[in-house]
Structure 1
Amino acid sequence: MAATTVTDAGSVRIITEVIPATDPRAAQLASGSQAPAQTSFQTQGFRKAHPKVLGTIHIFSGIVHICFGVILTMSEHKNPSLPVVSGILFWLGILLLVSGSLLVESERRDSPVLVKTCCVVNMGVVLGTLVATGIHGTAIIQNMPGCGKPGPFQIRPEWCLNMNGKVLSNGLDCTMVLLGLLEFCVAVAVLAFGYDTVRQHTYSQLAL
């Protein structure tokens, strides 16, 4: 039974009820009083960008880059193209996997440090996509390896006579350029929301 005490203080009557620990209402009151303390809004602005969705896009793009890098490296071991020689497909793919994993984790953890890390990694993604676009664009306008203007007493390799390989290579490079544009837009969105969140967090710390 709950003990009730009535106290009169002037024109105000105060009713105090003592609830035993075994009462179910005690557990509800305890959980209700602790809920606000467990909720944090430090990265609420960053979560408006749906980092889990953006991270999934980066992870998928990273897997595509690495898979194409393995396939092209194996198929072009005799006459590797510029993207294969530069290794852009591998290191950009790894960078995208790291960025995607951090973004997915930031959806579950309320950590300003994690948001800052995502911003730093996505700055690398922005630079990487710009470099990759330049490499793939250069590969499109270039001839196939070894198919330039032959010198005296030189014969062009057999693969120069088959232009289907060049068409396929150009199509793949164009696909990588479009995919890089998507990655660039995702990284810019992460930087925009992340910068705003970090700025608000820094302002709140200075205010305290």
Structure 2
Amino acid sequence: MAATTVTDSGGVRIITEVIPATDPRAAQLASGSGLPAPAVSSFQVRGFRRAQPKTLGTIHIFTGIIHVCFGIILTVSEHGTPSLPVASGVLFWLGLLLLVSGSLLVESEKRDNILLVKICCVVNVGVILSTLVAALVHTTAITHNIPGCESNTLHQLKAEWCFNVENKILSNGLDSVFVIFCLLEFCVAVAALAFGYDAVKQHNYTRMVL
């Protein structure tokens, strides 16, 4: 039998009823106390999907493939005297990181999983830092001479290609394109991180309220 207590406080009467576990109403209250898991999960990532993660992920995948492909081409063509971007391997590790980030963003469009959103945030923090480092590497390469053409000594002989200005122009143009790509990838990562962080905060708030 349910126990009922009545309390008067400040002109307000509070009636408290304690329902035993054997009462059929207890099962009904337990089943109706929370939202279904899919509905809660969908609510958790709804804000993140406003950023169109599939589109952002596609951009990261596309630019990641470009980085890896040019990394292979430049590594083969500059095997003797590699430039700074090739020697640092920035085209490979940034390209692979972009492929991972893009795949996670595309997958987050398909699944209602707040844990996947958190992983996307962590990976995109890495993308933000990596794009800044990559932009610095490419900018440094623009300001330096072609590898093998430095004048370290007064009587050092230079290779024939050092006197071809078009080689330096082509190298600077390629590095400039990669700097632009880094800027694009940085903006995409910041957008994904901003919406993801907002979704995680909303998720924590929802859990506290429930």
Q: Fold conserved (TM > 0.5)?
A: yes
**Given the alignment, which residue of 66, 69, 94 partners 1:67?**
69
Counterpart of 2:200 in structure 1 is 198
Which residue number corresponds to residue 9 of structure 1? none
Q: Give the SS at the match of 1:41.
A: helix
Q: How does 1:70-109 map to 2 (within 5 A)?
A: 70-109=72-111
Greater shift in the superposed pair: 144-153 or 180-189: 144-153
Distance (Å, rounded) in 1 between the aligned partners of 2:118 and 2:63: 22
**Where do 5+ consecutive residues of structure 2 fail to align?**
1-34
- Counterpart amino acid of residue 202 in structure 1: N
Of 44, 48, 58, the match for 1:56: 58
After superposition, the C-alpha distances for 1:58-97 in whole angstroms (9 at most, x for unaligned) are 0000000000000000111111100000000000000000
Residue 191 of structure 1 and its aligned partner are, at CA, apart by: 0.7
SS at structure 2 position matched to 1:90: helix
Residue 43 of structure 2 aligns to a residue whose secondary structure is: coil
1:125 paired with 2:111, answer no
Structure 1: give runs of 5+ residues left out of the alignment.
Answer: 1-35
Normalising to structure 2: TM-score of the pair?
0.80
Query: In angstroms, what is the RMSD of aligned CA positions?
Result: 1.2
For this pair of structures, how many residues does the alignment match? 173
Query: For 1:53 and 1:152, how far apart are their aligned partners in 2?
Result: 54
Moved over 6 A (4+): none
Alignment equivalent of 1:159, drawn from 158, 161, 173 = 161
The whole-number CA distance in structure 2 between the counterparts of 1:63 and 1:200 is 34
For 1:160-191, what per-residue CA distance to the aligned partner results, in whole angstroms no more than 9, with x for missing partners?
11121111110000000001111000000001
Identity %: 64
Q: Which segment drifts farther, 149-158 or 196-205?
A: 149-158
What is the one-letter code of the residue matched to 1:96?
L
